[in-house]
């Protein structure tokens, strides 16, 4: 009769092998398609960039919102406009922080 320890080790090894060979299980966070519409700028809290790789099949701008992530096509003008606006806001915050630091 097979012991419980041997069964647990076998199941664990099989699970690890399946996860190691299944790229989709390892990279659940990848964008698989772009949104069709446009989101409101006010909903965006930040963004990140996804490059086209073997694991992630498309390039995307990932906008982070209160409701989750939205994958936008970086070839669309509105998406890159939003990125520029976010970067401009970040630059203003940085400049204000630098001025406060120098004034202290």
d(CA 89, CA 60): 21
- The pTM score is 0.69
Quick check: 55 pLDDT over 60?
Answer: yes
Instruction: Name the nearest CA neighbour of 57 among 79, 34, 80, 39.
Output: 34
Contact (Cβ atoms closer than 8 angstroms) between residue 71 and residue 36: no
What does the alpha-carbon distance between residue 17 and residue 101 come to, in Å, rounded to a whole number? Answer: 52
Alpha-carbon gap, residue 71 to 42, rounded angstroms: 16
Average pLDDT of span 7-32: 57
Tokens of 58: 């498309």
List, for residues 59-90, the tens digit of each pLDDT value.
Answer: 999 999 999 999 999 999 999 999 999 999 99
């Amino acid at each position: 009769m097979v012991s419980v320890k041997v069964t647990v080790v076998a199941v664990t090894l099989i699970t690890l092998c399946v996860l190691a060979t299944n790229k989709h299980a390892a990279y659940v966070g990848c964008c698989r398609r772009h949104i069709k519409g446009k989101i409101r700028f006010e909903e965006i809290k930040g963004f990140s960039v996804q490059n086209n790789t073997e694991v992630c099949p498309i390039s995307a701008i990932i906008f982070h919102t209160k409701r989750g992530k939205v994958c936008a096509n970086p070839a669309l003008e509105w998406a890159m406009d939003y990125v520029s606006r976010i970067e401009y806001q970040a630059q203003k915050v940085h400049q204000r922080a630098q001025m406060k630091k120098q004034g202290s």
